[in-house]
Structure 1
Amino acid sequence: MTPNDRQPPMPGEAVGEATMVDLPSVRRLEAVGFRAWPAAFVQYDGSWLIRLTAGHDSKRLNCVNPLDPSDHRDIALRLEKAAKLFAEYGRLLTVRQTPLTPPQMVAYMDGEGWTPFSHSLVFSLDLAERDLGEGMDHLPIKDVGRFIDARILIGKEDPEIKAALTEIINSIKPECGLFLFEDRELGPTAVSLVVQDNDLAGIMQFAVAEAVRRRGVGRALLDASLRWARLRGAKKAWLQVEADNRAAIELYRKAGFTEVYRYLYRTPKV
């Protein structure tokens, strides 16, 4: 493996805990991840994928994504051009650093004092290794608006993002499953969006209401999401989770998910 196949440790880990990654797997999961959560504006600068979305502040929808470790020409100039494009959208230039980011670009950002934040993990699961049963005890709903209302309520997000979320979900091209758990007294308790892209299924927008956490609701929702994906031909599931979300990481690891790679975001020193 090349030096760039070794990932930096997450906050709180010792240097020796850095892990090795399989770059072909990273490339494939990055590609399906972009299709699963599409940006309104997409532009390539060489192999750098620039994604911007005026109506939503999601970091994944507003960042530069280097996709080839060998594409490191004119780093400062290209970042300057990208910064102007981000400014047109009223956003600060943000780079998403993954194992595909050129080491020279990482060194440049280090030298310029760029701020790292929002460390995340990407997990995957071989669905053949899970006994999910054959039947479906929970079916996805068709009402996108109802799903988004529940997601906003559970996540305690600004209701004004509903229009942007609706546009994003409606623009997803692969088949989607919208899962919603509800309680007669509590209302919406859990949601997940499953995006099936050929043999891969992404678990997105996964959220469980605080009032029902640690009661098995999250595991039931995850199983229902995975069961639906497998019945439609998915062989492997994947998801992304922020590194400081310990409860979610525990849930996913107990369900059999294992880490594939890590990423973080960086912005220029202000």
Structure 2
Amino acid sequence: MTLLMPTCAEVVGLLTEYEEGALGPLGWLGLKLHLSLCPPCRAFLDSFERTPDLLRKLWPEPPAPAAERALGGALAALRQGRIPRGPVHHPEDEAWSALEPGGDPFKALLLRVHLGHCDSCRSQHPAGEAIPATGPSGGDALGLLRPHLPPEDHWRWTRRGLGGAHVAQLLRDPATGATLNLARMPGGMSMPLHGHGGSELSLVLSGTLQDGPAHLGPGDWLACGAGQQHGPTAGPGAECWALLRIEGGIRFAGWRRILGAVG
């Protein structure tokens, strides 16, 4: 940066303050001077100003309260120089009804594990329902969860077509056909592209998982709708363990479709 005029890199950092009218007189003058001499930065500012309108057209409905709370907390932490800790992907508002009497037992179990990781959700939902979070390794992640699962010798592991991942079916709900599953993925491994006959709920127990644009860590919740295809990848290094509620089994894309529905 010169005495008055910022560099291109510095302009990017000043645009939010500029749009909010928070720049001081020297900063405003320096930014205006730079923009008058720099066509690429003028083009960047134009796209920056058009982004909110484009987002409003894509999502005309207001965001859900849970999304607003999560975003507000993350922005506050960033402004204060803190890195947000704990889950950043939370259950949808309607999912919490599973904790009520007669609710879906598999979904309720995932919610209870999420509550064990998430301070903000415990402040809004029954903390007594939480299954406390444990250490970062897969074995530790299962420690306090085991009493809520059938004995390990009843788990039915599937490896067929999973490219190195293991999925154990733990329970099946005869009323809905949904299954409760435990997935174990080696670090850096990608699950083959697949979809489901119904919805899939994922709750990460340990390690990290990249599923499309979502980067998931312990306690994070992700819902995939029927027919939606994805191929999540475990983060490098440690194994990723996840608890899954699956409807309609796993249905592979490509040549693996000859295997039929798995689980």
Q: Same fold by TM-score, threshold 0.5 exceeded?
A: no
**RCO higher in 1 or 2 (8 Å CA, sep ≥ 6)?**
1
> What TM-score results when the alignment is normalised by the length of structure 1?
0.25
> What TM-score results when the alignment is normalised by the length of structure 2?
0.25
